[in-house]
Amino acid sequence: MEELVIIIGGGPAGAAAGCYLSKEGIPNLILESAVHPREHVGESMVTATTRIFEELNFLEVMEQEGFIHKYGASWHPAKAGASLHVEFSEIEQEGVNQDYTYQVDRAKMDMLLLKHAEKMGSKVIQGVRVKEVVFENDKATGVIVNIAGQTVTIPCKAILDASGRHTVIGKQLKIKEADQNFNQFAVHAWFEGVDRGNRPNDIHIHFLPVERGWVWQIPISDTITSIGVVTDKKVFKGAKEDYEAWFNEMSQGAPDIAKALKNAKRVNKIKVEADYSYKMDSFVGNGWMLIGDAARFVDPIFSSGVSIAMHSAKFAVEQLIKALKVDDVSSKMLKPYEDRVKLGTEIWYEFITLYYRLLPIFTVFISKQEYRLQVIQLLQGNVYDRASAPVLDAMREFIDTVENTEGHILKPYLDSSLSNIENTPAPHLAIT
């Protein structure tokens, strides 16, 4: 019991953490507030996630379950014109032996992953919400939960908070910071009868002629397609709680998505996602670590959520193992994990911010061969030190040229509200 690790949350971050701990013979308990299967947004993977699936012996399960193979991504302009696409196979990825990733039903995948963690040795209790983390002398020593009508305190050696956007420790310690640049909202649902075009397995991004507006199109099965409209809060306010009417209006804003939905029929409820981007002051403390969305949530435009969640779980467990070996789970001992993950998420954040700054003229960097492979490397989830992504500097230079050239034809397309983007100092390897 002394080395028991409690994991708050059984999503991809929590389940992956449980798998990695069990592989090392470290007892762990996953407390999941929902009862799986449960619906969740974030249905498109990046190829870097495949490496994690393989390390956890879960890749075979992904193949057996028949999830859609995702070979690339396509972008569609807000006005009539040719779409652009990339394929992941255009650049090799170390440690990944397939040229595709997956489009998934998250309810199904997350349930399978949590069961896999249990099979590997994690103890899993579902339908139990952590009410509070217990601190003694500034050190996390356990959690308080309600089980079968009884309030129970469960002690532990360390806590991994994988509670997603519930951010259990973040809220309790009041260390959560709202993002100052992004306040995105998404309205989404599943449809049948969507015309997926000539690249049916891609994730399709359709640009909308509104501020930071785009539509995702993700195949979930042979018949079901996930469609989501994303805009800035100022645009979303126009919905006035009639989300279906707003969704229908926005999704007609670009020719390719309007065509795709012409004969489509919605098969589940319209859902709304808000509070897209935030971060915590700290990712670690005495006896605790934050992983996945509990640490930081970055806008999902590049499908990075599950990859960041599972990689952060891997890195957290690597550092926690070192700490447990010397019986020191202090903030100082756990800090290298925070440094590593912050570097990776900041590079993602810079890429996403520049993308929105350029939207919809980002496609310039897909069409130019000297930048195309670097963009694909980022889209694969290969986030290294900042110096390995010169395409980000090229994006900045492109923006500066457009802004400083009087009468430049592309100036109206730049998002002027994102004019101050700091360089991301990242001298070391981050997330790979």
- Do residues 126 and 233 both lie within one domain? no
Domain co-membership, 337 together with 229: no
As a whole-number percent, the residues of the chain with pLDDT over 70 amount to 94
Same domain membership, residue 283 and residue 260:
no
- Bridge-based pairing of strands 224-232 and 214-219 is antiparallel
Distances (CA, A) of 98 to 71, 93, 225, 379: 10, 9, 24, 15
Q: Choose the weakest-confidence range: 185-194, 275-284, 401-410.
A: 275-284
Amino acid 301: pLDDT:
79
How much is the pLDDT for 223?
A: 97
Provide the b/e sequence for 183-219 (b: ≥16 CB within 10 Å).
Answer: bbbbbbbbbeebeeeeeeebbbbbbbebebbbbbbbb
- Is the domain of 158 the same as that of 43? yes
Would you say residue 300 has pLDDT above 80? no
Contacts by residues 262-265 (CB-CB < 8 Å, ≥ 24 positions apart): 262/195, 263/193, 263/195, 264/191, 264/192, 264/193, 264/194, 264/195, 264/225, 264/227, 265/191, 265/192, 265/193
Place 432 in a pLDDT band, splitting at 50, 70 and 90.
Answer: very low
Q: Position 271: which residue type?
A: K
Q: State how many domains the chain has.
A: 2
**75 domain-assigned:** no
* Of the residues 235, 252, 273, the one at which a domain ends: 273
The answer to whether residues 222 and 317 belong to one domain is no
Res. 352 pLDDT band, cuts 50 70 90: confident
pLDDT digit string, tens, across residues 224-236: 999 999 998 889 9
Number of residues written out for the chain: 432
Q: Give the model's pLDDT for residue 389.
A: 78
Residues 53 and 188 in one domain: no
Mean pLDDT of 129-157: 95
> Is residue 425 predicted with pLDDT exceeding 80?
no
For residues 189-210, give the mean pLDDT: 95
Q: What is the mean pLDDT of residues 114-133?
A: 97
Residue among 55, 31, 27 nearest 122 (CA): 27
Q: Which residues of 359-379 are buried (b: 16+ CB within 10 A; e: fewer)?
A: bbbbbebbeeeebbebbbbbb
What is the phi/psi pair of residue 85, to 5°? -145, 160
Is 422 contained in some domain? no
Confidence of residue 419 (pLDDT cuts 50, 70, 90): low
304 pLDDT tier (thresholds 50, 70, 90):
confident
Domain boundary among 290, 322, 343: 343
Q: What is the mean pLDDT of residues 26-50?
A: 94
Residue 304 lies in a domain: yes
**How do residues 359-409 score in pLDDT, each as one tens digit?**
878 888 888 888 898 888 888 887 656 777 788 999 999 999 998 999 999
Q: Which of 50, 85, 80, 86 is nearest to 67 (CA)?
A: 50
Please report the pLDDT score of residue 424 as a whole number: 41
Q: Which residues have CB under 8 Å from 21's CB, separation 6+?
A: 5, 7, 27, 28, 122, 317, 320
Per-residue pLDDT at 340 exceeds 70: yes
Distance CA 100, CA 103 (A): 10
Q: Is residue 214 one of the residues assigned to a domain?
A: yes
Are residues 28 and 146 located together in one domain of the fold? yes
Rounded mean pLDDT, 323-336: 97
pLDDT over 90 (residue 324): yes
Of the candidates 275, 51, 65, which has an alpha carbon nearest to the alpha carbon of residue 170? Answer: 275
* Residue 184 scores a pLDDT above 90: no
Q: Evaluate if residue 122 carries a pLDDT over 70.
A: yes
How many Cβ atoms are within 10 Å of 60's Cβ, its own excluded?
10
Instruction: Tell me which H or E stretch contains 251.
Output: none
Cα distances from 57 to residues 63, 120, 155, 209, 360, in angstroms, run: 11, 10, 30, 44, 39
Structural domain includes residue 406: no
For tokens 């997603």, what's the residue? Answer: 164
Mean pLDDT of 221-226: 97
In this structure, the answer to whether residues 191 and 311 fall within a common structural domain is no
pLDDT(430) > 50: no
User: How many angstroms separate the Cα of 116 from the Cα of each of 8, 17, 122?
Assistant: 17, 12, 9
Structure-block tokens of residue 174: 């009041």
CATH number of residue 250's parent domain: 3.30.9.100
- Say whether both 201 and 300 belong to one domain: no
Rounded CA-CA distance 267/190 in Å is 6
Higher pLDDT, 160 or 241: 160
The answer to whether residue 428 sits within a structural domain is no
**% residues pLDDT > 90 (the chain):** 66
CA distance 385 to 288: 26
Mean pLDDT for 109-126 is 98
What residue numbers bound the domain in which 237 lies? 184-273
Instruction: Tell me the two tokens of residue 223.
Output: 């018949």
Q: Which of 325, 343, 361 is the last residue of a domain?
A: 343
| Token pair for 207 | 């640009």
Q: Does 431 score more than 50 pLDDT? A: no
Determine the pLDDT at residue 421. 52
Q: How far apart, in whole angstroms, are the C-alpha atoms of residue 37 and residue 168?
A: 21
Mean pLDDT value across residues 238-245:
91
Write the CATH number for 39: 3.50.50.60
Tell me if 14 sits within 8 A of 29, measured CB to CB.
no
The per-residue pLDDT of the chain, averaged, comes to 90
Domain assignment present for 366: no
